[in-house]
Structures are given as structure tokens and as C-alpha cells.
Structure 1
Amino acid sequence: MTLTTINKTSPKFLLSTLSAMVIAASLSGCLSSGGGSSDDDRKESPDPLQVSTLQGDYIGIVDNGMRTYRGIRYGIAERFAAPESPEAHSTPVKLSTDFGSNCPQNDSAFGKASVEEDCLFLNVYAPEEPGAYPVMVWIHGGAFIYGSGGESYDPQRLVEKGVVVVTLNYRLGALGFLPHSSLGDSNFGLQDQQLALQWVKDNIGKFDGDADNVTIFGESAGGHSVMSQLASPGAEGLFHKAIVQSGSYNGNQVPLTDASFNGVPIPGGQTLFGEPTIAATECADENQDQLLTCLRTLSVEKILEAQPGNILPVTGTEVLPISINQALATGEFNKVPVIMGSNRDEGALFTLLALGEGKDLSTAAGYDAAVTELLAEDPRLDAKQIADTYLARQQATPLAYINAYTAIGTDWRFNCPNDAQWELLEGQVDTWGYWFNDRNAPNALEDINAPFPLGAAHSFEIQYVLSSEETLTERGAGPDQLTLAEHMAQYWTNFAKYGDDPAIGPNGTDGAAEAVEWPRLTADGEILRLDAPTPVAVAKSEFSSTHQCNSWNPPPVQ
């Protein structure tokens, strides 16, 4: 694949979160509490890999030392309608190595193409030994446009440490999030996630998972989903801990319809996403009463062709009455322990994509134009001042424009919003902050060679948690990276086991994951900088100053 073929659908605003592209080939002990199945249950089953759910029996396989159940249908949904649980089946379903269909998405480097709307499947991975294990539910990223819970993610490293892992699909793009008042609560993808979490609550005990100890975790759009579920009243009681990886972007989200704040008009999702999408279809002239009917007659291909390059959940709906940031600021959210963090060079991936789109980051004029376009989402910003300030911080090298553009994307889009959400969270729930800092991380872009160092780019931390040692090694990981991956997997699973105890959190009962103790975040406290091979606790102020967060609070405006 050449650089110029990276981005088939070019985003123009909001976040282009392309995690599904980045991890193409997938990247012990047990607890005594909870509702797992017993040895007697296993003996009574006609097959030790057969489990009974509310929807019927499934027969799994053993794969890489895990009991694996791929392609379990957790929901069905009419187009542009809330999902429902499927009817029960009477004959046991024998599963295989195959995953359920991806939800509809365009053919791209970011996820396998699909036009199959019957796509609400999840996958369960459990240790071979019976027990009552904590549960970790992974929500994939991909700009809410791309990806799936399937082959891109290998949970073997986590399962080996004594947890049950669930990955899931949810509806994407216009079919999952098209905001328009004619469609009611259009956050269908978030509704899918909640139905999957309800399935976990009802059934995971049969897979030796503890339904009273569920951690949701996700990266980028998946991290934004985790934050949205924290803010959603409908998710109350469906999870008990949360891990947010690079998910703090666009925390103010957008309302369903146009609004105003202090007299300033705020375009809603219907204006930004819904109406342009519908205008590109044969339903453009339908009145509101007939619009839903018309949209349901369109082919999947036509909807995918018309939809925007990325999309967001919208507020002012039953699923999301208020935005993530408003929920955190008012305390009106599901208060559970949280791990939250971001990467040192988040913007590097998007700089690579910008170059693939033809952006000129080799001249002053090209750089200024690229920064102006990047920041166009917020017309208040003084793009020229921001561009000049960041360029002045760079050394005079051929990569100065690239490095400045990357730093703006990192600080403005991800890390300073992360910094602000840390401050909102730490006074209300037990919070642990991280800063992924391995700038020698393996290149997870497979066959794409970047013309500049990617460092600790957006999504590069996923492979340290959801891939095997073999995959990391094939991508070029050395001993330092493999050591850090072990530490991170141990922290993540310790949090799933002990995160409800602030004295333990992600550190475990026998020391701090054989690395260092991860301090709980307090005002002016410390976060964990994930260096390779050994993490180190540092002052949060180091993160804030490195990413120029004082410059963004408030930001330079015209």
C-alpha cells in the first residue's frame, strides 16, 4: 500500500479515528467471587465447551489456550430503530474460528467492507480453567465509521492473566448514528453497545465471568464510546469500571438539533451530519413524515456512499441527554473507577493521513493552510497564531512543519481535553491517569512506511494490550517493548480485578505489576508515564506542560 492510498474517505472536521486500520492482524489465576459456572455444571453438559444462554446454547472451541466463542448474536435491529434481543434458538449453535459479519462500512484500509446489516455479534474469550473471572468488554475504535470487534484484536495476553474478554460489533456511520429528528434517538450504535452489555450481564456467568465485575474499555471512538456510556443514564449498572484510551476528544459533542450558548449559535448534528447525508440520496425531497420510510428503502451501498467521513453521537437524546463534559462537570454520570490516558504523539497518525491526502507540510504556506483546515472545526480559534506559536517551538529541520502540525493535533485534539477530563474526574471517582510514552513503539501500520518518525502515535498502545508477543515481535518490538506490554496487560487486568479498591487499583495485591506503583490521581498529583521497559510515576504537570495545555485553556481566539 502506498501512502497516497491511505485515506479513501477524507474527513473534513471532527475526529478521523482510524484504529481499525492500525491493528490489522491483531495486535493467571482466578478470583473467588461472582457468578461463574461450577465444575458440576461442566460435567453435566453434553460438551464441556457448550454453554447455555438466554438465547440458547452455543458450543465453542479451544484456541490459543482460551475457550473461544466467536460470532454470538446479541441483537437484531430494524434499520434506524433500537436494537432488540434475538429470539431463542432450540438447537445448539456450533461456533468456529469465524467472526460474525462486520457492520456496514465502506471498503477502505480501515476496516473490511460490509453491506450486511445483520451484524450485532459479540465474541467471548475465557480461560480454560473454571472460575469466576472479572470481565473486560472491549469497544473498538474507527471514527464511528470503520472497524469491528473481530480479528483486529487478540485478547490472549489478557485472558492468560485471569479475565474473561468480550469484544463486540455495533452499528456504524449513518446506519448507527445518523442524527435527524425524524429518526428519534439516533444514537443507535450506543444503544447496541448497551444491549451487548445487558447480554453480558445476563449471560456471562455461563462463561465463568463475574457479571458483578465488568470493566468496559476502548480506544479512540471506542474510548469516546466508553465516555458516552459513563454519561448515559441507560448504561447505569451495566459496568463497574472503565478504561478510556485516547477517548477524550470532542467531549462537548454536539446537540441533535441546532442550539445556542450565550447567544452563540451551535450547529447540531442534524445540520452537520444528517442533512448533508440525506441531501446526497434520493430521499432529499421527502417531508419529515415520509423521510424514515424512504431511508429504509435505500440500499446499504447508497447510504454508505452518502454518509460523511466521520460522525459523532449527539446529545439531547434519551441515550445522551447531555454531553460527556457536561455530565462530568455536573456530576450526572455513572460514577465508577476510571483509568484514562493518551499517547505522547497522538497527532502523528493524522499527520500521516494528511500527507496521504496531499497536504503540503514542506512549505510555510502549505503548513499554514493545513493548520487552518485542521482547526476549522472551531472558527473562534486564531489558526495563524497557533500555527506560528507551535512552529517557533521546533528546531529548524526539514521536519519542522510536520512536527509542529503533529504537536497541534496531539495537544488540541487529544491530550489537553484528556487533561481537562482528568481534573473533572479525579474529584468525583477514583481515577488513574497514564501517558503512553514509548516513542520506539512498533509500527502498527503494517506495510505503510511513514516519511517521519511516528513515535507514540494514536492507537499504537493497543497492541501492547490486545496482541500476542508473537505479533509484537513480528512488527519489530524489542525486549523493552515486550516488557512494557507485560506491565500494561498486568495493570489493565489488575484494574479489572481490584479497581473498586482505591488502595489497590491497577497495582494488584502482590506489588505493582512487577514494575512501579501506579498512584491514584489527586489534584496536582501523579500519573503513570508508560516508558519502555519500565513505567515511571511523574507529576501530571509534566504532561500538561509538555502538551502546552495552559495555552489551550483558554485557547487563542481571533
Structure 2
Amino acid sequence: MFFLKLFVFSSVLVCVFPLDPSVVSVKTSIGEVLGRRGDHFTTFLGLPYGDVDDNDPLGPATPHPDFETPFEAFSDLALCPQFVDGEATGTVHCLQLNVYTPNHVTAGDKLPVMVYIHGGAFVEGNSRLSTFSPKFLIRHDVIVVAIHYRLGAFGFICPRRKEYRNQGLKDQFLALKWVKRVIKDFGGDNGNVTLIGHSAGSISADLLLLNTEGLFNKVILQSGNAATPTFIEDNSQPTENIQSNVVNMMDREFKDLVSNMNISYILESTSNVTFRVCFDELVKKTPDSDLEGFKIMLGTTWEEGLFLYPNAVEDRNFTENFNYSIILKNTFPNIDDRGNEIVKNFYLQNGVVDFSSDYIFNYPSERSVRYYLRNNAVVYRYIFNYDGGRNYMKVMKNITIRGTTHADELGYLFDMSMFDTNISDADQLMIDRMTSLWTNFAKYGDPTPSPSPVLPVRWSPTTADQGSYLDLDAALSLRSGGPFERVASFWDLFYHHYAKFYKGIDLHDLHDFDMENGSVMISISYYCIFLLMFKFFM
């Protein structure tokens, strides 16, 4: 009898106190959460922040209910619907986030919080631990949150009914509200939240910056801005076929029809669609956010567009290999041939890589910086120019030419399984530098609060008078003058004549162009060259 009682008592102890010493329990305002303590940090994986109705998979999400029993946050395998290796996969029940904390943190701590929004052109990507391990960031005593949000047709269709627009962006907004409410229970400071985005995630973060208030107080924008015209829908017309007759239906008809479609059918029916953020009650065409004193860090890589043309390594100029007429017609479908010829001739020497870099990334970045400064934000600007062994996109696409392209910096912020565990000294130094800059910004709003051997350069904010930026290369250096002044000069003047064809958010800088106004002074020589080109093609 004694042994039976001992066995029962021991069994109860095992159930209440698991034998696995790595399991961590956190009492939160939404219920008890179980995570795992690892060698470098503690993980809470796959925490649900929102629910999607199976009968309305393209409709708005609702906050996930509180947990009635301990939630085992041990897995983040859920994937939002997308194509992976050509196969349609995923579930709409993907509105989850991962919380990563230092092992020593307690609920009474108030560590800075960094919330990451992944990229992927609004149609693919994830924030799994296996994809973006925060190992390098966590060691600086911050808490990292990585979120999933709906993609493609499930997150970014633009029907006439505004209730169905921008569900992916609204998912992100819902996740930030979760962070505001719950992160303090994990030892985070919900009054010191830095939003980080890359590519489409950066566009999203910028749009949230311009259209929401109170959920974060700093933002880091990596290779994407709200001013990027490629991913902003400028009218209430439907995105090309979901089919177009589907997205134009009234609410009830739309909901009933979509509820009868499986995920694979919806993905395959929209596989050729370029999905965009569209204007609605959350995203205004003319932003009105108060940016007084708001801290913004933003930057690009030096040759962003190289990943779009990885074979243009030997000959990037205008040749028979690149039909500029087709490229420009796709970019400016409503602009006359003369306008397209002006752009083509400007990029005859610069090439297709520079054209895509400037149009999609560099010029929107220039415009955004001006807007932030006009609205009294504090802006730190960088160019990532380091060509090392962990340049993410170059390694993934086997690009061997010298230079940095889109997403190359991610390998120095996150630990990724695709890279060798043996890190070179030069790459380790760049990891140390970038993670120090990023986490200093999250902690203090200043990436270089004091000099150190790792950060020997003082990174001062850019101004309208002197556009300084940090050159993130093997040797750090602070450079004066905007990195893309010549590019900005050309596109400013182009839109001075063709502003009515611009698609995207209105930053009040294209319609009433003033040669003497703005952070970038337009040289008379560029102006004359443009006018000569314009007159010639007229």
C-alpha cells in the first residue's frame, strides 16, 4: 500500500512539475505559457495572437481568447498560406508570434523589445526560429518578438469593399496590440518597443508608423518604405484576378464564395498576381502621423536590384539582353513613349540593376527621409556595403560578383542554418557591430551612445542641410551628403513633369516641386540635362 501511494504521489509530481528542466512557466494576463530555456536564450514559440474564421478566410481576424489551461509554446511550424518549392501549403490559422528572452529575465524586468516583421513581397516568408534565430541580438539584453501575418490573397487583396483590404497589415497591428498588452509579463518594457521590418515587412512597418500611434516608439526600416510605389495600390479597383469578379462582389456573396474555396485553389488562382497594400481606413493616401522627435533608423544595401538580375554580372548596361522598353512599359504603363525614353537614356550607362535599385528602393528612401525630416523626426541613415561570407541573398542565389544586394545584411543580424557555424573574424566583427547598433537604437534611441572598440565611429543623425549616413563596410565610416543625390535629382525632375502618373502614398513632394526646397538641392547642370532630354524627345 505504501509503494502504491508513493507511486501515485510521484506521478502527480511528474504531471505538475515536468522532469524536463528546460521547461519555463510564465504567468501572463492571457494565461499560463510554457516555453523552453536553451543554451543562449528562452523561446516561446507559436503563441497565437489572432483567430481567422474558416468560413471567412480573407476576412478580419479577431484577438485570440485567453488560455484556460497552460499553453505549450514549443512549436512554430504553422505557416501562412503560400507557395513553398512550388507547392501550395499553409493554413489561415497562422496568426502566431514567437517571443525570445534572455535566460536570466524575470517578469519584473523591463527590457527593450524588438518586434520583427519578415519580408517576402507580401506573398511568402515566415518568422520561424529556424529562419531567423535571434541569437546574436538576444545577447545584448533585449527581448525579440517575431510575427507571422497573412500573405497573398489572404492578406493583401484590394477589393472595392474596404473591409477586406490589408488583412495582413491589420494582422500586424493586432500582433502589436498583443505585445502592448502581454510583453511585460515576459520581462519586456511595453513602453519601449522598436518595430523592425525588412523589405515588405519594412514597407509595412513604415505604413504602421505613418498611420498608427502608441504601439511602438522607434522603428528600423531595412530596404523598404511606404513611398515604394511598386507595392501600393492607388485606387479602389481590384487586384488583377482573384478572379476580378470575385473581389468585386458584395460582402455576403464574397464571403460565401471564398468560404467554398480551399487554400490551394485560392493560391493557384492568384499565383501571377502582384499583391499590394491598398488604401483603406488604416492606410491613408496622405499620412497625418505626428513624428515630432520620433526615432527612425533606415537604410538600403548598395546594389539592391542585383538580386532581380543575378545574371547581369558582366554586362549591366543597355544591351539586347535587357529590353528596356518592356521593363519601362511595365513600370509606367500609362506614360507616353517620350517619358519612357527619358528614363531609358538616363540608365543607358547605369544599367538595369541601378534602375531597379533606384526606382524600388533608393528614390523612395530619399523621399521618405525628406518627409521624416520635414516632420521633425530624428533620422539615422545607413548603407550596407559589406561583402562577406554571410551575405544572405548572394549566398542563396549564388551571386559571385562584388557588391551587396537586397537582404544581404540579414545574415549579420540573425543566426541562420544556411551558414557555416564557423564564422570568420571579419564576419563576426560585422555581426558584433550591427547587433550593437540595432540594439543600442532599441535601448537608447541612439545607435552609438558611447565610443567602443566595436563601434569607434559616432553615428550622428542626418539633417536637411547635411545628409550624413553610416557606411556599413569592413571599416565603418560616417559620410556626408545623401548617398543617392544624383538619382534623387533625376527622379524629382521626372515626376515634376509626370507627377500625375505616380502611384503610391502622397508625401507632398511631387506635385508642387520647388527647386530650392527639400533636403536635396538640385544642381542646375542636372536640371539642364533633363530639360535637354525632355525637349529632345518632345
TM-score (norm 2): 0.78
Q: Does 1:135 align with 2:113?
A: yes
Q: Does 1:486 align with 2:432?
A: yes
1:439 CA displacement: 3.8
Question: How far apart, in 2, do the equivalents of 1:164 and 1:286 lie?
Answer: 43
- Which residue in 2 is equivalent to 1:352? 310
Query: For 1:465-514, what per-residue CA distance to the aligned partner results, in whole angstroms no more than 9, with x for missing partners?
Result: 1226x86555x964333212211110100000001xxxxx1113465952
Aligned residue type for 2:459 = W
Aligned residue type for 2:324 = D
Gaps of 5+ in 1: 1-45, 257-266, 394-403, 500-504
- Which residue in 2 is equivalent to 1:181? 160
- Which residue in 1 is equivalent to 2:473? 532
- Which residue in 1 is equivalent to 2:413? 465
Q: Does 1:507 align with 2:484?
A: no
Aligned residue type for 1:147 = G
Question: How far apart, in 1, do the equivalents of 2:177 and 2:247 lie?
Answer: 36
Query: For 1:357-397, what per-residue CA distance to the aligned partner results, in whole angstroms no more than 9, with x for missing partners?
Result: xx99884364434533553466368333333332335xxxx
Structure 1 residue ranges, 4+ long, deviating more than 6 angstroms after superposition = 253-256, 359-362
Contact 1:348 1:454 survives alignment (8 Å): no
From the superposition, tell whether residues 440 and 377 of structure 1 become closer, same or farther in structure 2 (CA, over 3 Å): farther
Contact 1:441 1:460 survives alignment (8 Å): no
Q: How many residues align?
A: 465
Question: How far apart, in 2, do the equivalents of 1:191 and 1:286 lie?
Answer: 21
- Which residue in 2 is equivalent to 1:21? none
Gaps of 5+ in 2: 1-20, 499-536
Question: How far apart, in 2, do the equivalents of 1:226 and 1:512 lie?
Answer: 32
Q: Does 1:382 align with 2:345?
A: no
Write the mapping of 1:213-232 to structure 2, written as runs, cut at 5 A.
213-232=192-211
Question: How far apart, in 2, do the equivalents of 1:221 and 1:86 lie?
Answer: 25
Aligned residue type for 1:314 = C
Q: Does 1:88 align with 2:66?
A: yes
- Which residue in 1 is equivalent to 2:488? 549
- Which residue in 2 is equivalent to 1:298? 261
Q: Which has the higher contact order (CA 8 A, sep 6+)?
A: 1
1:252 CA displacement: 5.5
Question: How far apart, in 2, do the equivalents of 1:48 and 1:510 lie?
Answer: 39
- Which residue in 1 is equivalent to 2:218? 241
Write the mapping of 1:34-53 to structure 2, written as runs, cut at 5 A.
49-53=24-28
- Which residue in 2 is equivalent to 1:34? none
Secondary structure, in 3 states, of the residue corresponding to 2:189?
A: strand
Q: Does 1:313 align with 2:270?
A: no
Secondary structure, in 3 states, of the residue corresponding to 2:494?
A: coil
Question: How far apart, in 2, do the equivalents of 1:106 and 1:304 lie?
Answer: 8
Question: How far apart, in 1, do the equivalents of 2:268 and 2:307 lie?
Answer: 25
1:300 CA displacement: 1.1
Secondary structure, in 3 states, of the residue corresponding to 2:50?
A: coil
Contact 2:50 2:61 survives alignment (8 Å): yes
Q: Does 1:448 align with 2:397?
A: yes
Aligned residue type for 1:405 = V
- Which residue in 2 is equivalent to 1:418? 365
- Which residue in 2 is equivalent to 1:196? 175
Contact 1:516 1:537 survives alignment (8 Å): yes
From the superposition, tell whether residues 411 and 285 of structure 1 become closer, same or farther in structure 2 (CA, over 3 Å): closer
- Which residue in 2 is equivalent to 1:12? none
Q: Does 1:341 align with 2:302?
A: no
Contact 2:316 2:353 survives alignment (8 Å): no
Contact 1:254 1:268 survives alignment (8 Å): no
* Identical aligned residues as a percent: 26
From the superposition, tell whether residues 527 and 114 of structure 1 become closer, same or farther in structure 2 (CA, over 3 Å): farther
- Which residue in 2 is equivalent to 1:23? none
Contact 2:99 2:144 survives alignment (8 Å): yes
- Which structure has the larger Rg? 2
Write the mapping of 1:70-89 to structure 2, written as runs, cut at 5 A.
70-78=45-53, 79-89=57-67
- Which residue in 2 is equivalent to 1:65? 40
Query: For 1:120-142, what per-residue CA distance to the aligned partner results, in whole angstroms no more than 9, with x for missing partners?
Result: 00000101112321000000000
Aligned residue type for 1:391 = L
Secondary structure, in 3 states, of the residue corresponding to 1:382?
A: helix
